[in-house]
Amino acid sequence: MKRILVAGATGYLGGFLVQELKKQGYWVRVLVRNHQQATKFADVDDIFIGEITKPEQLSLIAQNIDCVISTVGITRQKEGLTYMDVDYQANANLLEEAIKSKVNKFIYISAIDGEKHRNLKIFQAKERFVDKLKQANLAYCIVRPNGYFSDMGDFLQMAASGKVYLFGDGEQKINPISGKDLAQFIVEKMTTNINEFTVGGPDILSLNQICELAGSALDKKLK
């Protein structure tokens, strides 16, 4: 597989993916929303401009592409868009184009334990797309990272306010991974026949421990 389409290229992980793919000699097409975003990608081979939430703007986006990698998703519902609009439907729009263009493989970046938390709207949308991808007639891979280093900024923001809000009792453990390391992992596994990976970084911490570290870094006592 030599020709890759990256959707979500302007995001945290997507940017690292584009860098890693080019570093390893792949031909790369990126999807961006507008010409302003296009200026961020001087070293890619092709830029496709269109709104992923609008299927009529995606015609032929996957033409002559071997593999689609989608990091598309939102962390908060905003600008009138819901998780179902983006995490599910936008990716479904992209998948339809991949099928039409007979793409060999579709790689989707989801979230760890999403299948266990379908009661939450964000996971409901992600897992609905996972279900659709599994039913499609093409090779696929689902990558489930156990949190990103970039997400740790949220803990610092909470620590700065002196109050922390967590799911459950805070003893859930995660091992976040850097975007660069995850991008390397995805590109390395791109040709594997394994359909699903859970991946994380080297350090395992509970949410409570992360909060304590954030508080210590800012010399704040948390509630």
Q: What is the pLDDT of residue 75?
A: 72
Residue 205 has pLDDT above 60, yes or no: yes
Q: What is the dihedral of CA 183, 130, 53, 70, to 10 degrees?
A: 10
Answer whether residue 163 is part of any domain. no
Q: Say if 68 falls within a structural domain.
A: yes
How open is the CA angle 183-189-191, to the nearest 5 degrees? 125
The pLDDT value given to residue 122: 84
**Which is more confidently placed, 3 or 218?**
3
Question: How many domains does the chain fold into?
Answer: 1
The answer to whether 179 touches 12, Cβ cutoff 8 Å, is yes
Residue 211 lies in a domain: no
The model's pTM: 0.84
CA distance 14 to 180: 10
Q: Which of 194, 193, 11, 29 is nearest to 86 (CA)?
A: 11
Q: Measured between alpha carbons, how far is 41 from 14 in angstroms, rounded to an integer?
A: 12
Question: Does 210 score more than 70 pLDDT?
Answer: no
Instruction: For residue 222, tell me if it sits in a domain.
Output: no
- Structure-derived torsion over alpha carbons of residues 93, 94, 95, 100, reported in degrees to the nearest 10: 90
pLDDT of residue 150: 58
Residue 209 domain-assigned (yes or no) = no
Return the amino acid letter for 200: G
CATH of the domain at 97: 3.40.50.720
Question: Domain containing 50: what range?
Answer: 3-148+177-201
- Residue 112 pLDDT class (50, 70, 90 cuts): confident
Which pLDDT band holds residue 63 (cuts at 50, 70, 90)?
Answer: very high
Averaged pLDDT of the chain = 86
